Amino acid sequence: MSFFGLDCMRKKEREVERKIRANDREYNSSFKYATNSIKTSKYNPFTFLPLNLFEQFQRIANAYFLFLLILQVIPEISSLSWFTTVVPLVLVLSVTAAKDATDDINRHRSDRKVNNRKVNVLISGKLTSEKWMNVQVGDIIKLENNQFVTADLLLLSSSEPLNLVYIETAELDGETNLKVKQSLTVTGDMGDNLEALAAFNGEVCCEPPNNRLDRFTGTLTFGTQKYSLDNERVLLRGCTLRNTDWCFGLVLFAGPETKLMQNCGKSTFKRTSIDRLMNVLVLFIFGLLALMCIILAVGNGIWENHAGSKFNAFLPRKENTAFSAFLTFWSYIIILNTVVPISLYVSMEVIRLGNSYYINWDRNMYHARSDTPAEARTTTLNEELGQIKYIFSDKTGTLTQNIMTFNKCSINGKSYGDVIDHYGQRLEITEEMTPVDFSFNRLADPKFFFYDHALVEAMKLELPDVHAFFRLLALCHTVMAEEKKEGDLVYQAQSPDEGALVTAARNFGFVFRSRTPETVTIEEMGIQRSYELLAILDFNNVRKRMSVIVRNPEGKLSLYCKGADTIVYERLHPSCSELMKVTTEHLNEFAGEGLRTLVLAYKDLDEEYFSEWKQRHHESSVALEDREEKLEKLYEEIEKDMMLIGATAIEDKLQDGVAQTIEQLAKAEIKIWVLTGDKQETAENIGYSCNLLREEMNDVFIVEAHSPEEVRQELRDARLKMSPATEQDKFLIPEVILGDTPKVVQDEDVTGDYGLVINGHSLAFALESNMELEFLRTACMCKTVICCRVTPLQKAQVVELVKKYKKAVTLAIGDGANDVSMIKAAHIGVGISGQEGMQAVLSSDFSFAQFRFLQRLLLVHGRWSYLRMCKFLRYFFYKNFTFTFVHFWYAFFCGFSAQTVYDEGFITLYNLVYTALPVLGMSLFDQDVNAGWSLEYPQLYVPGQLSQYFSKRAFMMCALHSWYSSLVLFFVPYAATYDTARDDGKDGADYQSFALITQTCLTVTVCVQLGLDLSYWTVVNHLFVWGSLGMFFIMTFTMYTDGLFRLRPSSFAFIGTARNCLNQPNVWLTVALTALLCVLPVLAHRFFYSQISPTINDKVRYKVRQMKEPAPRPRRPRLTRRSTRRFGYAFSHAHGYGDLVTSGRFLRRPAAARTMGLIPTGRSPGFKPTGRSAGYSPVGREQNPKQKVEPTSLQMFRAVKDSSF
């Protein structure tokens, strides 16, 4: 991968397997493995100049100007000085190079910051602090709590029991739960004994570097034994060590060979679609230029033969006619080069830079809480923001806040969580409301907020049902509790749902304190009670419920169950039917607000029956055949005739404004695809919460097959259901670009709205070359696509697939290192500076703090940038084509002698002074409607997706307009001055007077044309337009004075022409007539089409004028989704976790040492029995939104997934 520099290109042979010997640098260095130094920059001091120039000269216009420069140093054919080309060319190259150098310096700084991090490396039996970049494969390093993992490591030992470590993988896969890794016993026994670790000489034989995050295969040979290694023994770079004091690891892969860097993708040189179109148009312009020069060269040859011979007596010529025509061809190449002036590219860079600053300065995209402004990290892609058709978004941290909150509940038919005023009206909960005071509970979580005081009153009254509700939440889970000091509880949950529920029970007085494989200890209203844990009936995606069987201190046996409502309802006792109806109403209300619901039930068990069931359970758990089926039957048997307690409602909190942003973007015909490493059900729930998926959709297709044939059939069935009449091979259309003919998948008409959800296994098959078109075709027919359980590389592959076959501009947005490859692959990459580090931001083109800012970036800044750039290009081509075509017509009247129609000073200043500022003013300040109306009418964005403002057709119309204007500008002044006399009777038809009149007509006409194109006049625009016209006359009179003529007669030959010519009334009449004739067709065309076929812009601007009101303020309504769909519990909960709990393998140090000070009976000291949402945080830090908090990756508990793909 060239992206990572030369280090990873050194090995010429493909690595088949990797051999590593611990603590033996000499042996490992013989394989020339990569060092741990990373390189994301593109240049170094030696390669910058050649590589940057090579990239810049890939732009055809730059190569053309270089060629032109070479021509201009040949005196036989050049009538202009070479300085006229070399100065602007060097300026353009220098400005672009400076910008590229600045961007790359920032990348170098980022690389240095990472490479210079320190880590303890075991060298010669001692721990030495080394920079990351100096770590080598085979080194043993020591990591401490909250440190980043330096490289891909084989875990050797840790400070935790059973050599477990807890890691957070948010940088890798976006998952934010703490995962568990465990070392081999043979290495774990070394602990932190430096002598034993230094003497360790085990040899690892493993797979070569690859990008698979979910698997690792290898063996460790130590002594005479060989041990198998898998993904559970490996810590990957990008992870963070959590809640583990220390661990030791052996470096397996370093630097660019780590799985994180293998997933980073390759940096590409991004160009906008306008840049690509410009390359095509420049080729066309070159062809047009060559055609004009050939015509004029042939004309020169004919003229030389017929008329030129008559002048030989006065102008002797040595060359023959053919050679004269040849020289004339190249002379006109130089004279007519203004069809593509180099100032065009200078102006484009200035416009892009200016529009980038608008993004940086936009206060409406500034996030005050994190003090994060929006940033345009790349200044060359602004107008591309106005053409986005597909958005590829991460979920965790991008759409969501990574916070699970306990919002509401229903207990014994009564709903809690809403705040009711004195009139019985429900109030909207805001941060200004006073939450319930939990100061009575010394163990309460300070992050927990709840606003319904009625629930606390019920707790104070000790209502049995309320106590049973929270007792179930405190007992029925697999959460681990950590209490490093008295009262400071930290929960580690495999599922964020569980974390939020256990935290809610904790605040309401039922505090989960600790667990052992046989017991669960909780504190009930200040009284500590220990329950015997007899069985955990674990969760899986089929059961969609979890149960525990416990014996309370009084000896009573109970089963507590929580799960999806449809599953639990089937297993309730018939006597619960009335309560079910009321609870169902509450569930529908909760689900209508997008909350994830969960039903709670219990059952008292008979001791004799349970003993017999327990025996059968043990026999089934050790059965060699049909173990799962037998256990499932036993679970079904005991989980029946349960009594309903109530229901909970948890909110997987979206970022502010996500639903509204998605709604706005959908109105702008932008399709949003969610690419997430999360589980399918969790991603679906978020899809419904943020209105990506809706109950009103005709259908939502789920593709989760496990074979290529099944995946193909499911995709085909979905496509045929959406459009039964679709033909198999009629969806591809050729798109010819510079001789290449890639296939483009055309959009197909679909009646109705559909969604598509596909998981990682199916997506792997769908992305194969023989099925990718089937997948793309089906997906593009859907309004929403959600890809679950995808790897970072698969995210990039999906983006590349759309880029390859769809003629559309793509944008990828994410906040973690797992999104980097997707961000780099898309046309536009947007990074969210969230809680998952800065990798996404560093690789992005634009960055900000919240997903909701995306609508302003696209609908306001993107649309304006695209509109301004298109207006600029249309006007620029118009004024320069018009300027150049006049030369063409003049050639027929000057004997094809390559004489210029204008004064040389005017040629020099036309693009530099007379017309530069007005067009820049338009390109920086123009707007058809302001920001408020742009957001009010997202449909204004659609023309940009269709490239209606600037395309090949628009270019041809511009060229035809220029051709017409040049005819008027040449022949009207020609006819007006032909055989005319001045007021004093002198001849008024000389070359210099004609040139000045033509120049004046041209300058006035292009300024009038610009005034017609301007939609938004500002003081700056007035100053630029009228100032440029004034500057033209000032410079004209100045250059045509006697003084300058005396200084340089050859350069200022038009002495007195301005004074003698511009005082004639017929000249000003000619100027007015010419300008009127040039703009009249434009006015007629615009009036006709605005009446017959108005565009969306015409309609909105007319409506705005009719309303005569200021722009509306951006609306941020509270969006609620009314639905009967209920969100099932614990979709991110991993199967098999209950076995870990009961086996004791997962447990941290014994909790007894931390609970020594607890009173076994009676009220705990300080407990005083006296109620919106609870954020669950596994690190136990208080997060008060009204205070400034240090941003950490685990401030609040975030959406959690299990560790397997």
The secondary structure of residue 160, as a DSSP letter, is S
Tokens (6 digits) for 720: 């045929």
> CA-to-CA distance for 508 and 1027, rounded, in angstroms?
73
Tokens 């990873």 sit on residue = 8
Hey, what are 655's tokens?
């970022």
Dihedral angle at the C-alpha atoms of 1169, 1175, 1181, 1182, nearest 10 degrees?
A: -60
**3-class DSSP assignment, residue 408:** strand
Torsion of CA 66, 69, 70, 76, to 10 degrees: 160
The Cα 997–Cα 1001 span in angstroms is 6
Taking a C-beta distance cutoff of 8 angstroms, is the pair 366, 374 a contact? yes
Residues 836 and 825: beta-carbon distance below 8 Å: no
Please tell me which residue in 394, 903, 926, 1202 is annotated as part of the active site.
394
- What three-state secondary structure class fits 125? coil
Beta strands in 571-663 (DSSP E): 596-604, 643-654
**976 sits in which H/E element:** helix 952-977
C-alpha span between 219 and 230 (Å, rounded): 8
Query: How far apart (Å, rounded) are the C-alpha atoms in residues 681 and 655?
Result: 19
Q: Is residue 129 a contact partner of residue 116, using CB atoms and an 8 Å limit?
A: no
Place of tokens 């940096």: 267
Q: What is the 3-state secondary structure (H, E, C) of 1052-1069?
A: CCCCCHHHHHCCCHHHHH
Q: Cα(573)–Cα(569) distance, rounded to whole angstroms?
A: 9
Using CA atoms, how far apart are residues 171 and 839, in angstroms rounded to an integer? Answer: 8
Measured in degrees and rounded to the nearest 5, phi and psi for residue 813 equal -135, 130
With contact defined as beta carbons under 8 Å apart, do 539 and 1133 qualify? yes
Q: Which residues contact 1107 (CB under 8 A, 6 or more apart)?
A: none
Tell me which residue has tokens 């400005």: 95
Return all residues near 1106 (Cβ < 8 A) that are at least 6 apart.
none
Instruction: Give the pairing of strands 828-832 and 846-848.
Output: parallel
| Alpha-carbon distance values, 355 to 604, 846, 909 (Å) | 69, 13, 26
Q: Give the number of other CB atoms < 10 A from CB of residue 189.
A: 13
In the block, residue with structure tokens 């990506």: 692
DSSP for 1007-1046, please give it.
Answer: HHHHHHH-SS--HHHHHHHHHHHHHHHHHHHHHTSHHHHH
Say if CB 678 and CB 396 are below 8 A apart. Answer: yes
Q: Is 394 part of the annotated catalytic residue set?
A: yes
Rounded CA-CA distance 141/298 in Å is 78
Distance, in Å, from the CA atom of 1034 to the CA atom of 576, rounded to the nearest integer, reads 94
Structure token pair of residue 654:
């979206």
DSSP string, 980-996: -B-TTS-B---HHHHHH
Residue 265 has φ and ψ, to the nearest 5°, of: 75, 180
Residue with tokens 């009446």: 1091
SS (H, E, C) 523-557: EECCEEEEEEEEEEECCCCCCCEEEEEEECCCCCE
Euclidean distance between CA atoms 16 and 36, whole angstroms: 20
Round to whole Å and give the CA distance between 638 and 548.
11
Q: Which positions are annotated as active-site residues?
A: 394
